[in-house]
Chain A
Amino acid sequence: MKAMVYRGPYKIRVEEKPMPRIEHPNDAIIKVTTAAICGSDLHLYHGLMPDTRIGHTFGHEFIGVVEEVGPSVQNLKRGDRVMVPFNVYCGSCYYCARGLYSNCHNVNPNATAVGGIYGYSHTTGGYDGGQAEFVRVPFADVGPTIIPDWMDSEDAVLLTDALATGYFGAQLGSIVEGDTVVVFGAGPVGLYAAKSSWLMGAGRVIVIDHLEYRLEKARTFAQAETFNFAEYDDIVVEMKRTTDFLGADVVIDAVGAEADGNFIQQVTGTKLKLQGGSPIALNWAIDSVRKGGTVSVVGAYGPIFSAIKFGDALNKGLTLRMNQTPVKRQWPRLFEHIQNGYLKPNDIVTHRIPLADIAEGYHMFSAKLDNCIKPLIIANPS
């Protein structure tokens, strides 16, 4: 089968790989129809994530058709169209039993601090991902869900991470009616977080980025006020000004480890790899939120230390909330919101790229060319 494989920082290619096998009785093999490139895939692509091995296939956002199931699988059969949450999880460990699917303890031998994720290095378990024609899906009775007939395929693939994570990010903010919510990052997760903040009763939603085309999408897709931080000497001060010097009630970091806005942080964090990324957005979040406010972090950070302004967080009495998203917990409500027309996930898709052209797709997404917001990968045209 054909699959994207990692060849080192900034280098990938499509190769012939052996077909994935049933390795556990509750495995399924999925024929991938559509996958996506996530902003967090760029951390792997740039060589930031420890234990990213040559030959590894990325991709934690994908949907497809069941090709084969293991002998203990009860809920799926060959031919079912399924959407697969980015979390690999067992459904029975201490954490899964409490709904913390993204913190499963039974699927990632390489680290205890993170659960299992498809196509996201050996630090998250060493599972090949879905930017391929076929993929192994462990615990087929737990994670995958049959795609409802009414659901658009592109909406389904966006539900496997980006939409669920944006919605989860807004929940982590514990928004109450009338809150001012600031979202750092107008990428897919930030756009969905902004949109979701309204559903939870926000009174103002402000999105910050430096890419004007993404801010335009934030205005039209998420009805948000926008600020281009490149136009201000100090975006934190500007956030204080626009909130009567109170600060935002809730700030959502939807950027993660490769934030822009500070040259030194960028170079030490993402070029020289001297810290676990460039935590500019998180530091701005800590400084922009009001005292006693909440910072929600859904942007992805690696396991290596980062220079975080923790003293400000302490002295301001902040609540910091974060996690990888337990995707399947979000789905029933998100299905309702899509059916009711409150959310239209695929409005943010800008590119649909054949698997064979994925190297150029990564470069385009990484370099933010061609007004790219969300690129999908067509693995097996249906």
Chain B
Amino acid sequence: MPESGPSTPYVANKPKDIPTAEALRARIPGWGVDLDRKDRPSYPREVYDPGSTGAHWDYPEEQPHREGRERSIEHGQLTPVFGTSAPLHGVSGSIRRYAYRYGEGRAAHWLLLLLGDRVDAWGAHAASFVSLRPDNPITETGVLAEGRRHGIASRFGRKRVDVNHQWIDPIVVAGPWVAGAAGAFLGVRAIVRRGRR
């Protein structure tokens, strides 16, 4: 026990070293202007006021071209409005469509979507090599910023704790490319050897 006796929280009073309101107001511009909790913008959390949003409909007109749009099975219907950024397609689309058979509470739903993401990426990389704009891992990873934005000076001698795992990033990014190239090389070599026999 300290010489001065027990202190907060072993006794009821609040900590003593909190500055007074006057001191804080003098030091911090605007200190306490939102002190009244009931006068804060998100108080209370729910305020029923449908006339305040700008909506001039009870239910929005439905966006067209709704056929085939995937939706969560936890929705009772397709929402009236939806994004059209990247419609499902190919193998990744099939995986993702299958994922939408599961509810959002199921790990299978999200893990299948992640699998679809990876298949989508691998397919897009492969397709890019028969296009006029093949993927370029140098420009697309922005790794040239390492030179232009002080990559070494930004990282070292600064007590950054993320340096202990950043070395994994190049493996995560380049690993599939290296594995793919190695696989292609081994495959071609096997075909050539078989042809020589």
Contact = CB atoms under 8 A, between A and B. Distances in A.
Q: Do A and B bind each other?
A: yes
Given A330-B41, A364-B145, A201 B14 contact: no
A129 to B, nearest CB: 9
A11 B128 CA distance: 13
B184 interface: no
B20 to A, nearest CB: 9
Contact of B54 (A91, A99, A342, A363): A91
B41 A333 contact: yes
16 contacts: A11-B141, A26-B61, A91-B53, A106-B79, A110-B72, A139-B60, A142-B53, A211-B158, A271-B169, A304-B110, A304-B111, A360-B144, A361-B142, A364-B149, A368-B162, A369-B151
A342 B121 contact: no
B160 A180 contact: no
Given A123-B113, A199-B30, A10 B85 contact: no
A367 B160 CA distance: 11
A347 interface: no
Interface in A129-171: 138-139, 141-142, 168, 171
A41 interface: no
Contact of B120 (A53, A97, A139): A53
Interface of A: 7-13, 15, 23-26, 47, 50-57, 72, 74-75, 88, 90-92, 96-101, 105-113, 116, 122-123, 125-128, 138-139, 141-142, 168, 171-172, 174-178, 180, 196, 198-201, 203-204, 210-212, 223, 228-231, 243-246, 260-261, 263, 266-267, 271, 273, 276, 290, 303-305, 326, 329-330, 332-333, 337, 340-343, 359-364, 367-372
Interface residues of B, number: 106
A176 B37 contact: yes
Main secondary structure of the interface of B (DSSP, over half): loop
Contacts of A329: 41-42
A55 B194 CA distance: 40
Contacts of A367: 145-146, 151, 154-155, 166
B29 A342 contact: yes
Contacts of B85: 53, 55-57, 122, 126-128
B55 A139 contact: yes
Contacts of A168: 42
